[in-house]
Chain A
C-alpha cells in the first residue's frame, strides 16, 4: 500500500518548525474551543509556534489523524514529536510539566 501523499507534507511541517499546532482555524481566529484552549496556553507561555488550519484542507484534516494515530484535533508537535491533544497539553500546563518539557527540548518560553 502506498503512503498517504499528505504525510510527506506533514513531515516537512513538523521538521521545519520546532513547535507546530494542527488546529481548527488560525491562532488568531480558532474555530473550536479545544484548539483555542491550546493556543491560549502556548501564547500565555510565550511559545512561538506554527498553527496549521486543518479545516482549510480535507486531506490534511483526515491525514493528520492517520499520521499521528490520534482521532481528534488539536494536535501538538514539538521537534517532530507528538505531544498530545487538548487534555494532555492542559494537564501538562497545569502541573508545570509543559514548561520543563519545552525547556528540555530547547524551546524558548517567556516564563
Chain B
C-alpha cells in the first residue's frame, strides 16, 4: 500500500523542523463533496507545529517555510492546509 499523505507530511515536517510538537489532523471528510476534495480523501489537513525554527519569524515567513517543506504535496493535489506554527516559547496551549 502507498504511504499515506499524512505520513509523508509528518516525515517531511519532522525532517525539516525537528519539531517539539507536531499534530496533523486529516479534515478531508469535513470537506467531502466540496471542490478540491477527492473520493480517496487526503486533500484537507490541519497542522499544528511547534519548532525552534519559527522563533523571530513573521506568520507569513513561518508558513512559507512549511509550504516549501511540503511543496511536493501541494504539487500532488494537496488542496488545503490549515497551519498554526509556533516557536517553543509561544506554545502556551500545550
- Given A34-B80, A84-B59, A87-B83, A70:B34 Cβ within 8 A: no
Total number of B residues with any Cβ neighbor in A under 8 Å: 16
Asked whether A69 and B64 contact (CB < 8 A) given A32-B34, A33-B34, A87-B84, the answer is yes
Does the CB pair A32–B35 fall under 8 Å? yes
On whether the beta carbons of A31 and B35 are closer than 8 Å, the reply is: yes
* Docked-complex contact B35 and A72, CB < 8 angstroms: no
Chain A residues with Cβ below 8 Å from B63 are: 70, 84-85, 87-88
Q: At the interface, is chain A mostly helix, strand, loop or mixed?
A: mixed
Contact B60 A88 (CB under 8 A): yes
What residues of chain A lie closer than 8 Å to B35, measured between beta carbons?
24, 31-32
Q: Residues of B contacting A91 with CB < 8 Å? A: 59, 84
A46 located at the interface, meaning its Cβ lies under 8 Å from any Cβ of chain B in the complex:
no
Asked if B81 CB lies within 8 Å of chain A CBs, one says yes
Would B67 and A71 count as touching, CB distance under 8 A?
yes
Q: Which of B14-55 contact A (CB under 8 A)?
A: 31, 34-36
Does any Cβ of B come within 8 Å of A86's Cβ?
Answer: yes
Least CB separation from B31: chain A residue: A33
- Asked whether A82 and B60 contact (CB < 8 A) given A72-B80, A87-B84, the answer is yes
1/0 contact trace for A73-89 toward B, CB 8 Å?
00000000011111110
User: Sorted from nearest, which 5 A-B pairs have the closest CB atoms?
Assistant: A71-B74, A88-B59, A87-B83, A71-B67, A87-B82
Q: Spell out B's residues near A (CB within 8 Å).
A: 31, 34-36, 59-60, 63-64, 67, 71, 74, 80-84
Q: What residues make up the interface of A, taking CB atoms closer than 8 Å to B?
A: 24, 31-34, 69-72, 82-88, 91-92
